[in-house]
């Protein structure tokens, strides 16, 4: 257990080493803090930050995720067609060394619900490992760019794609699928990192044997206990189109030897088609990495009626909670709540809203049950208005960051609400399985985005930086220099004093920022900060030329909230590297 972070608040212990000059996994570290202790760039000199290199990927779609830095090489994964670009940091101008092209099936572009994004790669044992949109995991030799192995995870013709960045633990590659909105059955697949052979698959719906629930399964709450709930909480056969895809990040606690992740929304936004709790969608899982067997599960929202998910990051940290040290899991949900859990047992310790929320009245910590607001339940053929947050979420997949120096979680937040109407949903293989019409708009308060600094121990917002027009849809990086870095949807990349929220530096990049910033030490010993500038993802797609932004129902309703995006920014394809 690592705790010796210089400048860290005493009693905050991280579960694993953080990114300290390299960036070898998509989340920075197993605990998903996205914190780096590098402090050459700090509050007293950050105003000198300037562009060192601007690299074009050639693809004008959403650049989510972050590049990796391993030794003297930086690795970029582009949006579809998922090229892997290796950049030589040892030579002036950071030239491109080689490009690996997996040549994914172009028809996969018609199965990507949230834009043809790729959330990045991970590094393990001399290979760069990442996923392609058409459903393959590839391992590429990190030096030569040659393919080492390629394994098919799912059939893209059924609407099953891969967008998430894998994580490797103990030589096992963890890959989660996408496609809840195509009625695909969610699953986490484990592969051997050397050979790519599939070791096991843990489905998000179905009988216990498919879900990998056995005698060691100890959910904290009674509502999550029972046999084959992944079948019995559905109408017959509906679990086969059950969704619960696994398109977010994986966390890992080396001491407890548990991986953590969450599952997405159920198949079909029209919840009246699927009476029952719909397990195990919108659920946070703790599993043994070798066997995949579940240790505990907590379903945040049974019978989801709004398209919400539980795939957002799970940040692992040990800190005092109400007077005693506890092993925490912090989950800033797209549902609008910051969930704080005990990651040993799955007990819910706190659920507090970080943005306006009205789909629920709160959570009962004793039973773990959500207290729904029944007046917001959708209806068939009629809109229910003013549901907050929108199906697009109080945050998107761009990741928050936790600084052990401040004890704050920095959340890139959305304040977007929606009108929602249930309609008929027909399941046609390979087409979206929705059954709802949505339109979105900014929530109350006169702003649509915020960078929120959330005091974890006290479960409250301490400060925020508001954006009137657009959600904050890019991720956050915190550093030992006392800085938090984040980007806005109109392309401003900012360095902020992590204690006070004062903006100390900003730079306008040409396109909206939807990726996660990262930092590394170059071969020259200097610290650099890198971030993609390339708008996209769900809300960002309204900026694309082929979307009619004046139709509020376009982009599955996101056009309503994003109607001014085309005058604020335009699509881009850049990686920006900043330095002193």
Q: Which residues pair with 298 in a beta bridge?
A: 284
Shortest spacing between CB 533 and other proteins, in angstroms: 13
Residues 335-371 as b/e (b if ≥16 CB within 10 A, e otherwise) read bbbbbbbbbbbbbbbbbbbbbbbbbbeebeeeebebe
Tell which positions 537-576 bind other proteins, by CB under 8 A: 541, 544-548, 550-556, 559-561, 563-564, 567-568
Shortest spacing between CB 322 and other proteins, in angstroms: 34
Contacts of 64 (CB under 8 A, 6+ apart): 79, 117, 118, 119, 120, 397, 398, 514, 515, 516, 532, 536, 537
Indicate the residue among 144 and 548 with the shorter CB distance to other proteins.
Answer: 548
Run of H or E including 320: strand 315-321
Select from 111, 279, 303, 326 the one that contacts other proteins (CB under 8 A). Answer: 111
Shortest spacing between CB 572 and other proteins, in angstroms: 15
- The SS3 of residue 566 is helix
Residue 463 in the binding site for other proteins (CB under 8 A) = no
Indicate the residue among 153 and 489 with the shorter CB distance to other proteins.
Answer: 489
Helices (H), strands (E): how many in the chain? 5, 39
Say how many residues touch other proteins, by CB under 8 A: 67
> What is the x/- site pattern for other proteins, positions 474-493, by CB under 8 A?
--------------x-x-x-
Q: ∠ CA 228-334-67 to the nearest 5 degrees?
A: 105
Shortest spacing between CB 216 and other proteins, in angstroms: 40
Select from 507, 521, 570, 580 the one that contacts other proteins (CB under 8 A). Answer: 507
> What is the x/- site pattern for other proteins, positions 432-461, by CB under 8 A?
xxx--x-x-xx---x-xx------------
Residue 180 in the binding site for other proteins (CB under 8 A) = no
Alpha-carbon dihedral sign for residues 84, 571, 46, 459: negative
Alpha carbons within 13 angstroms on the beta-carbon side of residue 298 total 30
Indicate the residue among 149 and 553 with the shorter CB distance to other proteins.
Answer: 553
Query: Strand ranges (DSSP E) for 177-290?
Result: 187-192, 198-203, 251-253, 258-262, 283-287
Q: CB 538: neighbour CB atoms within 10 A? A: 23
Select from 503, 523, 524, 526 the one that contacts other proteins (CB under 8 A). Answer: 503
Residue 382 in the binding site for other proteins (CB under 8 A) = no
Tell which positions 12-51 bind other proteins, by CB under 8 A: 47, 50-51
The contact set with other proteins (CB under 8 A) reads 47, 50-51, 54, 106-113, 383, 385, 419, 423-424, 426, 428, 430-434, 437, 439, 441-442, 446, 448-449, 465-470, 488, 490, 492, 494, 503-508, 541, 544-548, 550-556, 559-561, 563-564, 567-568
């Amino acid at each position: 257990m690592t705790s010796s972070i210089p400048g860290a608040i005493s009693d905050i212990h991280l579960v694993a080493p953080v990114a300290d000059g390299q960036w070898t996994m998509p989340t920075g570290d197993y605990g998903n803090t996205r914190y780096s202790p590098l402090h050459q760039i700090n509050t007293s000199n950050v105003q000198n930050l300037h562009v060192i290199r601007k690299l074009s990927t050639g693809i004008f779609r959403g650049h989510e995720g972050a590049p990796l830095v391993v030794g003297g090489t930086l690795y970029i994964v582009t949006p579809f067609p998922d090229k892997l670009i290796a950049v030589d940091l040892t030579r002036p101008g950071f030239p491109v060394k080689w490009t690996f092209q997996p040549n994914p099936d172009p028809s996969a572009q018609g199965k990507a619900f949230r834009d043809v994004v790729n959330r990045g790669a991970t590094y393990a044992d001399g290979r760069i490992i990442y996923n392609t949109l058409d459903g393959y995991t590839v391992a590429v030799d990190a030096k030569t760019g040659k393919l080492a192995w390629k394994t098919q995870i799912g059939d893209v013709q059924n609407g099953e794609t891969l967008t998430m960045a894998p994580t490797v633990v103990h030589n096992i590659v963890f890959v989660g699928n996408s496609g809840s909105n195509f009625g695909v059955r969610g699953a986490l697949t484990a592969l051997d990192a050397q050979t790519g052979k599939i070791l096991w698959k843990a489905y998000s719906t179905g009988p216990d044997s498919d879900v990998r629930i056995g005698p060691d399964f100890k959910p904290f709450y009674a509502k999550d206990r029972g046999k084959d709930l992944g079948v019995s909480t559905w109408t017959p056969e509906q679990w086969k189109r059950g969704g619960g895809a696994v398109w977010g990040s994986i966390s890992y606690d080396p001491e407890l030897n548990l991986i953590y992740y969450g599952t997405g929304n159920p198949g079909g936004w029209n919840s009246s088609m699927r009476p029952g709790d719909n397990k195990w969608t919108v659920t946070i899982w703790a599993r043994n990495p070798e066997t995949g067997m579940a240790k505990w599960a907590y379903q945040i929202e049974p019978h989801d009626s709004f398209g919400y998910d539980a795939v957002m990051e799970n940040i692992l940290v040990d800190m005092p909670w109400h007077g005693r040290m506890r092993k925490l899991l912090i989950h800033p949900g797209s549902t609008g709540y910051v969930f704080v859990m005990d990651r040993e047992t799955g007990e819910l310790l706190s659920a507090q809203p970080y943005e306006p929320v009205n789909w629920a009245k709160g959570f009962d910590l004793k039973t773990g049950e959500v207290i729904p607001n029944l007046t917001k339940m959708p209806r068939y053929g009629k809109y229910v208005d003013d549901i907050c947050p929108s199906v697009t979420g109080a945050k998107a997949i761009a990741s928050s960051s936790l600084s052990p120096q401040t004890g704050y979680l920095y959340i890139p937040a959305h304040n977007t609400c929606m009108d929602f109407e249930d309609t008929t949903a027909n399941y046609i293989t390979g087409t979206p399985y929705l059954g709802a019409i949505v339109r979105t708009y900014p929530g109350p308060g006169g702003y649509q985005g915020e960078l929120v600094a959330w005091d974890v121990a006290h479960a409250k917002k301490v400060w925020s930086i508001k954006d009137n027009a657009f959600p904050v849809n890019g991720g956050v990086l915190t550093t030992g220099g006392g800085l938090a870095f984040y980007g806005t949807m109109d392309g401003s990349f900012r360095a902020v004093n992590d204690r006070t929220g004062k903006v100390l530096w900003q730079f306008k990049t040409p396109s909206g920022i939807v990726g996660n910033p990262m930092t590394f030490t170059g071969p020259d010993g200097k610290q650099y900060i890198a971030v993609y500038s390339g708008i996209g993802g769900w809300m960002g797609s309204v900026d694309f030329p082929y979307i009619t932004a004046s139709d509020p129902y376009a982009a599955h309703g996101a056009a309503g909230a994003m109607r001014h995006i085309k005058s604020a920014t335009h699509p881009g394809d850049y990686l920006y590297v900043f330095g002193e």
